[in-house]
């Protein structure tokens, strides 16, 4: 199986044939009041380093195992941030291209079948799945995301930019629906 980012690109090709109202961007969870569950099934996949800007997540491995590197938000300066992703897209990390990564402190663990791992808001993580594994990740909002400044390492404007983007896309969706109703009249 290809990298998760390649999978997302192939998924976008499929979604380009669907009507716009049937698609919700996969990086937005602000419209969800209840937890969202996403199932991941496959092998030989590495999800590049990223953090969840909207809330918390709980990784539940059903079968197989996943290796996880977890970085505190104050390690951002070593992770080459681009929005809520890192420019580092693979393991092992190319230290000539990303020399600051050597200074990053992280926790490394293996999550086996029947085990769970909690991801706090803004904590960076990369997940490596070598053997066939099935897992469910539960996402839910952290309502404090705009009421407190992000932890050290995450720029103060990051939550605000994600919130503005979500309002923008939500507004565009509402305008599209209004336009479709006007077309029917």
Residue 106 is part of a domain; what is its CATH number? Answer: 2.60.120.650
When divided into structural domains, the chain yields a total of: 1
| Per-residue pLDDT tens over the stretch 117-128 | 999 888 999 999
Q: What is the pLDDT of residue 29?
A: 46
Contact 59, 135 (CB under 8 A): yes
Residues 6 or more apart in contact with residue 51 via CB below 8 angstroms: 73, 84, 121, 122, 123, 124, 125, 154
* 63 pLDDT tier (thresholds 50, 70, 90): very high
| Per-residue pLDDT tens over the stretch 82-94 | 888 899 988 889 9
Q: What is the pLDDT of residue 135?
A: 95
Q: What is the pLDDT of residue 133?
A: 94
pTM above 0.75, yes or no: no
CA 99: distance to chain centroid? 24
Report the percentage of the chain scoring pLDDT > 70. 57
Instruction: Return mean pLDDT, the chain.
Output: 75
| Per-residue pLDDT tens over the stretch 9-59 | 544 544 454 444 434 444 444 444 556 788 889 999 888 899 887 778 899
Residues 6 or more apart in contact with residue 140 via CB below 8 angstroms: 29, 32, 34, 35, 36, 55, 56, 57
How many whole angstroms separate alpha carbon 52 and alpha carbon 141? 10
How many whole angstroms separate alpha carbon 63 and alpha carbon 135? 7
Containing structural domain, residue 35 = 4-184
DSSP 66-79: EEEEEE-GGGGGGS
């Amino acid at each position: 199986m290809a990298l998760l980012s390649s999978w997302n690109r192939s998924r976008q090709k499929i979604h380009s044939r669907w009507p716009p109202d049937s698609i919700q961007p996969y990086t937005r969870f602000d419209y969800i009041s209840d937890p969202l569950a996403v199932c991941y099934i496959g092998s030989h996949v590495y999800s590049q380093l990223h953090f969840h800007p909207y809330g918390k997540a709980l990784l539940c491995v059903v079968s197989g195992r996943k290796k996880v590197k977890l970085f505190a938000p104050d390690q951002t300066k070593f992770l080459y941030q681009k929005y809520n992703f890192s420019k580092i897209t693979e393991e092992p990390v190319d230290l000539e291209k990303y020399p600051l990564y050597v200074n990053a402190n992280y926790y490394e663990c293996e999550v086996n079948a029947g085990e769970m791992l909690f991801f706090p808001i803004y904590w960076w993580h990369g997940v490596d799945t070598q053997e066939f594994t099935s897992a469910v990740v539960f996402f839910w909002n952290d309502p404090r995301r705009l009421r407190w400044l992000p932890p050290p390492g995450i720029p103060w404007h990051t939550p605000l930019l994600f919130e503005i983007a979500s309002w923008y896309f939500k507004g565009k969706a509402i305008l599209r629906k209004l336009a479709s109703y006007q077309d029917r009249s």
